[in-house]
């Protein structure tokens, strides 16, 4: 089987870093993005021609096409795009400023959509490609205290669901990866709490979420090394399922959401059908 060329955003830590290792171990080629030039240079030196570090902040969407072009010049093609760059937010919706809300969407949603849009002409021309969106169980089921993060990942999943239908005729696959809690820096370094705290929410479900995040850090069920290998294996498999949950928690969370939606549907079906014209 021919080695693939991968492009991963946000490779400095967490899933991105583990995925980079798994790809190199597989014998594939890789362009990985870093926001700092020294990190990108170090990555290129480490991997001697098999992996290149690319300097890119996905919120600077005007720089995205050049980053992909750099990869084409080096490796000749891009087989797999992994939109991994992102961060989590914690707080009640009311606590977040509009600036904080826009910043979350810039990275988790607009960054991913800009990368995807720029990669599509390349993949269409090749007649093949695979876009892997790193979402979250929070991209399918919302929870108090994660509302802003939920919104960014719900948006990612919405466009990816439509995208999968749009690009299938061109031989391009889309996979939405939905990890549960994994032992990465996600709950520590890359989680941003709302700058403003509103006392009333401390005794609400949001307060419980703050406590959960604090208690869970370092004790998450998920092994990032196993997750990285699972993603690489999935890309190489013939599996056509759109969603790939990772961990026990997302399987449970997604099932609970599906059950809840079905209950809502059954509760309101009579009202729903009562609103149509009767010929």
Which residues are marked as active site? 135, 149, 153
Considering only CA atoms, give the Rg of the chain.
Answer: 20
Q: Rounded to an integer, what distance in angstroms lies between the CA atom of residue 279 and that of residue 267? A: 25
**Across 146-264, where does the E strand assignment appear?**
172-179, 191-193, 243-246
How crowded is residue 27: how many other Cβ atoms within 10 Å of its Cβ? Answer: 9
Closest residue by Cα to residue 64 from 107, 2, 22, 24: 107
How crowded is residue 204: how many other Cβ atoms within 10 Å of its Cβ? Answer: 13
Query: How much of the chain is helix, strand and coil, in % rounded to 5?
Result: 55, 15, 30
How crowded is residue 65: how many other Cβ atoms within 10 Å of its Cβ? Answer: 16
Q: Rounded to an integer, what distance in angstroms lies between the CA atom of residue 66 and that of residue 64? A: 6
Name the DSSP letter for residue 197: -
Task: Name, in order, each residue with C-beta under 8 angstroms of 244's C-beta and a sequence gap of 6 or more.
Answer: 175, 176, 177, 178, 230, 231, 234
Q: Rounded to an integer, what distance in angstroms lies between the CA atom of residue 252 and that of residue 255? A: 5
Q: Which residue has the tokens 């014998």?
A: 27
């Amino acid at each position: 089987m021919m080695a693939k060329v991968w492009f991963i955003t946000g490779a400095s830590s967490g899933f991105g870093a583990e995925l980079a290792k798994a790809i190199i171990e597989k014998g594939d080629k890789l362009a990985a993005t870093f926001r700092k030039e020294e990190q990108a240079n170090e990555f290129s030196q480490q991997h001697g021609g098999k992996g290149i570090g690319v300097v890119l902040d996905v919120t600077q969407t005007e720089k995205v096409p050049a980053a992909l072009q750099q990869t084409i010049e080096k490796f000749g093609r891009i087989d797999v795009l992994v939109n991994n760059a992102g961060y989590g937010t914690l707080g009640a919706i009311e606590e977040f400023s509009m600036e904080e809300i826009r910043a979350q969407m810039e990275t988790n949603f607009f960054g991913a959509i800009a990368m995807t849009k720029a990669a599509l002409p390349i993949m269409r021309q090749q007649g093949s490609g695979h876009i892997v969106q790193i979402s979250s169980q929070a991209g399918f089921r919302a929870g108090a205290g994660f509302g802003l993060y939920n919104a960014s990942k719900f948006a990612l999943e919405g466009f990816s669901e439509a995208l999968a239908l749009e690009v299938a005729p061109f031989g391009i696959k889309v996979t939405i990866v939905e990890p549960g809690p994994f032992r990465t820096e996600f709950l520590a370094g890359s989680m941003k709490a709302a700058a403003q705290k509103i006392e009333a929410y401390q005794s609400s479900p949001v307060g419980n979420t703050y406590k959960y995040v604090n208690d869970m850090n370092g004790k998450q069920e998920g092994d990032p090394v196993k997750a990285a290998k699972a993603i690489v294996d999935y890309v190489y498999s013939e599996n056509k399922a759109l969603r790939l949950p990772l961990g026990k928690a997302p399987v449970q969370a997604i099932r609970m959401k599906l059950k809840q939606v079905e209950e809502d549907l059954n509760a309101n079906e009579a009202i729903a059908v009562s609103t149509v014209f009767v010929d």
